[in-house]
Amino acid sequence: MKLLTLNFLTCAIKTCKTSPASFPLHPRDCELEVVESESVNLPFLKNILPRLMWDELRVIADELGLPALPSTPPTRDDLVEPSSSSTTTISHAQNAGNAAEGQQQAEEKPSQTARDLHRVLLETCIKEGKLVCGNCGHEYKVMEGVANFLLPGHLV
């Protein structure tokens, strides 16, 4: 399961739903796997950025021993390589002459920040391990990348 998933998960036990301690679920004894994907989906990252629980994400990254995330979330602008459009335009213009200038609407390129975020949220996956509720202590097993949220009968 991708780490992004943890951003949307809370404990399934009813009495935990109202407790702030049930989010995020805490990874424990986790085996991570990095699944590289071809390209950074910039529109997607921009879209989920406002819905990311940044402080909780930092906690999870820390608990997994990942490189520390910055203390404040990136802005949408941070995700775009600042020089990408102008650099492309200039080199293009140099090659093709000034006529090409203006016609080139360079595509936004993901910045290092975007690539880092992509790596953490979408390429870093929990393969095996547990997710532990901070409120009730219930452990959800993750096996072969899938978290099991079925509860034993007495807890439903």
What does the binding site for Zn ion look like in residue numbers (CB under 5 A)?
11, 13, 16, 22, 133, 135-136, 138
CB of 26 to Zn ion, least distance (A): 11
Distance of alpha carbon 78 from alpha carbon 21, whole angstroms = 31
Element spanning 29, H or E: strand 26-34
Q: State residue 64 phi and psi, 5-degree precision.
A: -90, 0
How big is the CA angle at 124 (ends 10 and 79), to the nearest 5 degrees? 95
CB of 19 to Zn ion, least distance (A): 7
CB of 100 to Zn ion, least distance (A): 59
CB of 12 to Zn ion, least distance (A): 8
Which lies closer to Zn ion via its Cβ, residue 79 or residue 133?
Answer: 133
Distance of alpha carbon 142 from alpha carbon 144, whole angstroms = 7
Which lies closer to Zn ion via its Cβ, residue 48 or residue 147?
Answer: 147
Which lies closer to Zn ion via its Cβ, residue 65 or residue 154?
Answer: 154
Which lies closer to Zn ion via its Cβ, residue 82 or residue 137?
Answer: 137
Label residue 41 exposed, middle or buried (CB < 10 Å: 0-12, 13-18, 19+).
middle
